[in-house]
Homo-oligomer: A and B are copies of this chain.
Amino acid sequence: MDPWSSETGDYSKVFSEFGVKKYSSGDIGHRFFRRKIVVGERDFHLILEKIKAGKKFVNVTGVTPSGRNHLGHYGIMEMFKFFKDKGGKNYFAVADIEAFSTKQKFSKIEELKEMTLNNLANYFAMGLEKKDVYLQSDYQSRYYSFGYEIGRRITENMFKSVYGSMDSGKFSSALLQFADILHPQLSEFEGKMPSITCISLDQDPHARLSRDMAVRLPYDFYTPSFLYIKHLGGLRQGKKMSSSEPETGIFLDDSDLEIEKKIAKAVTGGKQSLEEQKREGGEPEICKVFELLTWFEEKDKEVERIRNDCKKGKWLCGECKKHCSDVIKKLVGGHRKRIPSARKKAEKFLS
């Protein structure tokens, strides 16, 4: 499993061998739970208990700045916002050093600044506040010194057994993720507290090693909890939605026309001919348009109707793409409206 790859893969091993549990706590108030986009968890009961008791827990996530944010990022952000609204103590890492460490095209961290600004504007537009967010490259010294405390406990063998290979970029990147996830439990921050981080299954190596570290470090930490959400597939087969491959995804700054065009070209579960589809029905399970609807169509009933009608051949790709375009244009359009003031906030944050 390579958390740095942009290919999708077979993640059955994380359940069968690495101890991720199938998610089974039902809906706690977000469509991602109802639609089985949340697929797995580690120690999620710790967080559920805190939420039920109205007690504090750490809500921590990191996103590496990328040229443009796509709907996959939007999903991760929604989950972060969800746990913020549930009362979490928020630590949203803008992982600029991590991005720098793994992407060779940048020669100075400074070069990520425009990117970071764009991304921050998106986060603020989605309801995060300045106090919820930190920039890895401009954070408190305790965070960095803690990173060295973690680093000293990672051996080359330990690293290679989890990640397959070790180089200084991967090492830095992993180290920062462990520091991001664990530092809120230091006494200088919140102190010992359960924490929740939403990741995709391919990020599980980071989760495993950060849980390992929580136990090895000379601090009294809760082992961090994780929720696993599916990857939002790209619009073509076999790819994640990825910033480095713009044609595979829908971006938060796409125009309405771009959205329409991309969805029009998306891989569907439709048949070769209209007649065949009307007769045999479509396959929503493999349809990229239906996947988008599963993620972003607000109404559960509408999702079910579409699934059923598609299978029966009563709801065809043309009208489905049109409907999906409307859903996504509404979402992206609402976001677009909130950007100008969010961008000002982001500029102030970075200056």
Where the two chains meet, the residues of A that have a C-beta atom closer than 8 Å to any C-beta of B are: 97, 100-101, 104, 107-109, 136-142, 144-145, 148-149, 151-152, 154-156, 166-169, 171-172, 218-219
Nearest residue, chain B, Cβ from A108: B218
Assess the A101–B167 pair: CB atoms within 8 A.
Answer: no
Partner of A168 from B137, B154, B169 at Cβ < 8 Å: B154
Contacts A101-B151, A109-B148, A148-B101: A156 and B141 contacting too (C-beta < 8 A)?
no
Q: In whole angstroms, how far apart are the Cα atoms of A232 and B333 in the complex?
A: 71
Known: A137-B142, A155-B168. 17 other contacts (CB 8 A): A101-B148, A101-B151, A104-B152, A107-B218, A108-B149, A108-B219, A109-B148, A137-B141, A138-B141, A138-B145, A141-B144, A144-B144, A148-B172, A151-B172, A154-B168, A156-B167, A156-B168
* A contacts with B: majority SS: helix
B residues less than 8 Å from A166 (CB atoms) = 156
A to B CB contacts below 8 Å, 19 in the list: A97-B145, A97-B148, A100-B148, A101-B151, A108-B218, A108-B219, A109-B145, A136-B145, A137-B142, A151-B168, A151-B169, A151-B172, A152-B172, A155-B167, A155-B168, A156-B166, A156-B167, A156-B168, A171-B171
Contacts A168-B154, A218-B108: A100 and B141 contacting too (C-beta < 8 A)?
no
Q: In whole angstroms, how far apart are the Cα atoms of A136 and B148 in the complex?
A: 11
Nearest residue, chain B, Cβ from A96: B145
Assess the B168–A168 pair: CB atoms within 8 A.
Answer: no
B residues less than 8 Å from A108 (CB atoms) = 149, 218-219
B residues less than 8 Å from A169 (CB atoms) = 151-152
Assess the A101–B152 pair: CB atoms within 8 A.
Answer: yes
Nearest residue, chain B, Cβ from A165: B156
With most chain B CB atoms within 10 A of its CB, the pick from A101, A141, A142, A167 is A141
With most chain B CB atoms within 10 A of its CB, the pick from A108, A139, A152, A154 is A152
A17 CB, nearest partner CB in chain B, Å: 26
B residues less than 8 Å from A148 (CB atoms) = 97, 100-101, 109, 172
Assess the A168–B167 pair: CB atoms within 8 A.
Answer: no
B residues less than 8 Å from A155 (CB atoms) = 167-168
Q: In whole angstroms, how far apart are the Cα atoms of A144 and B100 in the complex?
A: 13
Assess the B154–A100 pair: CB atoms within 8 A.
Answer: no
Assess the B168–A152 pair: CB atoms within 8 A.
Answer: yes
Q: In whole angstroms, how far apart are the Cα atoms of A154 and B169 in the complex?
A: 9
B residues less than 8 Å from A218 (CB atoms) = 107-108
A171 CB, nearest partner CB in chain B, Å: 7
A193 CB, nearest partner CB in chain B, Å: 19
Assess the B172–A100 pair: CB atoms within 8 A.
Answer: no
Nearest residue, chain B, Cβ from A158: B168
Q: In whole angstroms, how far apart are the Cα atoms of A142 and B136 in the complex?
A: 10
B residues less than 8 Å from A151 (CB atoms) = 101, 168-169, 172
A221 CB, nearest partner CB in chain B, Å: 13
With most chain B CB atoms within 10 A of its CB, the pick from A145, A155, A156, A166 is A145
Nearest residue, chain B, Cβ from A109: B145
Nearest residue, chain B, Cβ from A104: B152
Nearest residue, chain B, Cβ from A136: B145
